[in-house]
Amino acid sequence: MKMGRCPFTAGIHAVDELHEDLRTSEPGVHEAELPDGSPVWVVTGWDAVTTLLADPRMSAAKADSTTGFRGQNLPAALEANLLNIDGEQHRRVRKLAAEAFAPAHHASQEQVVRAAVTELVDALPATGDIDLMGGLCEPLPPQVIGTLLGLPADKLDAFRAAARPLFLIDTSTHGAAVQGAMGTMLMLVAGVIDDKRRDPGDDLLSRWLSARDGQDRLSEDELISLAFAVIIGGFENVTSLTSAVLDELVRYRCEEARELLGSPPEFARLVRKVMGAVAPVNYALRRFPLTDIDVNGIRIPRGHTVILSLRSAHLDPARRERHDLVFGHGRHFCIGAALAEMQAVHVARAVLEKYPVLKPVKPREQYLLRPSWLTYALAELSVSTA
């Protein structure tokens, strides 16, 4: 079915209405065009989206496109990231990378998160209108990821500046900014890896440099691509997640959350539930069928670009009480999910503990949004203590 309405409009607050319209317009599978003119299929609804996310016939590798899909046209050294590979290469890279995020490391990672949150929250004003975006949600992820990866503290601002344009999904209008950011990111990551090779430390990059599975190890491009993916996902996505959680708690669940502060497990469960309700990601990254597939009676040819609407799946009554898709589903489930959740929990706890009174300063619909159709993400967030 051809869509009369563009499903890839950036920076709109009525995003739930858009995705619900996509889901309820039969058959829930639509032909559309990305802002750069690339033809795609948009698939909606809980059953179809979760099935395709876990389907081994759906590849994340651009090499499996039959329509010439280029996306952001990453440099070769960044192409081998976990979001852009599949099959055996994805299995081996993920296996080599995953140990660094294993439960055995969660306690030490939580110490890093707790220290960073404490430092930032302590620096926030005691009263008045509090800029939670600029004072907490934006600086926290670079500080956490920078510490864990072993990035030089004096280069964190450069990494953050390079990461931001990469969320400008419409390369037809922001191509120069995106390409420039990619070149800068490649130079920064490669430089840090060279430093770690000469002087390894107790950090993720050093672990990946020494990671082995028998005689197998990560190639130079795989190392660079892996660090790139962690930085991109760990910076902007966590900023979007923590700001969405804070806004939701302050507006609608502040008293409930305060009552659970004395029970950390219950508090964490509430935050996780809120994360599922306000998940900022609208779409999963594109997939390419390895064979012709049928979805809701519609034939999608091999290699065509498929965009899965996570937001429509969350809104679908068929979801009921089943798990959310905040961190994806299937073999591409976010490798850093536990770390992102830690940050959301500690941010929420620290803010509630510091401020006995919290109120939104304006309706959510008046907030500026980040300019991406891939996410519904706040660009600002302030609260009042009065």
Q: Give per-residue pLDDT as tens, 288-338.
A: 999 999 999 999 999 999 999 999 999 999 998 889 999 999 999 999 999
Provide the pLDDT for residue 33: 93
The architecture in CATH of the region 15-384 reads Orthogonal Bundle (1.10)
Provide the pLDDT for residue 135: 98
Provide the pLDDT for residue 4: 52
Question: What is the identity of the amino acid at 145?
Answer: I
**What CA–CA distances, in Å, run from 6 to 46, 173, 222, 307?**
21, 17, 35, 13
Q: How far apart are CA 340 and CA 335, in angstroms?
A: 10
DSSP3 helix / strand / coil % (the chain, rounded to 5): 55, 10, 35
Q: How far apart are CA 280 and CA 236, in angstroms?
A: 11
Provide the pLDDT for residue 181: 83
Provide the pLDDT for residue 381: 98
- Record the tokens describing residue 317, joined without a space: 């009554």
Q: How far apart are CA 100 and CA 94, in angstroms?
A: 10
- Give the total residue count for the chain: 386
In terms of phi and psi (left: phi > 0; alpha: psi -120 to 50; beta: otherwise), the region of 37 is left
Provide the pLDDT for residue 174: 59
Do 316 and 24 meet the contact criterion of CB atoms below 8 Å apart? no
Q: Give per-residue pLDDT as tens, 150-209.
A: 999 898 888 888 887 776 555 555 567 777 888 888 899 999 999 999 999 999 999 999
Closest CA to 186 of 289, 269, 72: 72
Please state the domain extents for the chain.
15-384
pTM of the predicted structure, to 2 decimals:
0.93
Helix axes 140-149 and 106-122, enclosed angle (nearest 10): 140
Cis amide linkage into residue 27, ω under 30° from 0: yes
Provide the pLDDT for residue 5: 60
Q: Say how many Å lie between the first and final Cα of the chain, rounded.
A: 51
Provide the pLDDT for residue 10: 86
Do 207 and 100 meet the contact criterion of CB atoms below 8 Å apart? yes
How many other C-beta atoms can be found within 10 angstroms of the C-beta atom of residue 386? 9
Do 386 and 181 meet the contact criterion of CB atoms below 8 Å apart? no
Residue with tokens 């209008």: 173
In terms of phi and psi (left: phi > 0; alpha: psi -120 to 50; beta: otherwise), the region of 314 is alpha
Q: How far apart are CA 344 and CA 340, in angstroms?
A: 6
Provide the pLDDT for residue 264: 97
Q: List Cβ neighbours of 154 (8 Å cut-off, separation of 6 or more).
A: none
Question: What is the identity of the amino acid at 92?
Answer: R
- Record the tokens describing residue 284, joined without a space: 């999963």
Extract the residue ranges of the chain whose pLDDT is less than 70. 1-5, 167-175, 213-214
Partners of 41 in the beta sheet?
31, 306
Strand locations in the chain, DSSP E?
29-33, 39-43, 58-59, 129-131, 288-289, 293-295, 298-300, 306-308, 359-360, 382-384
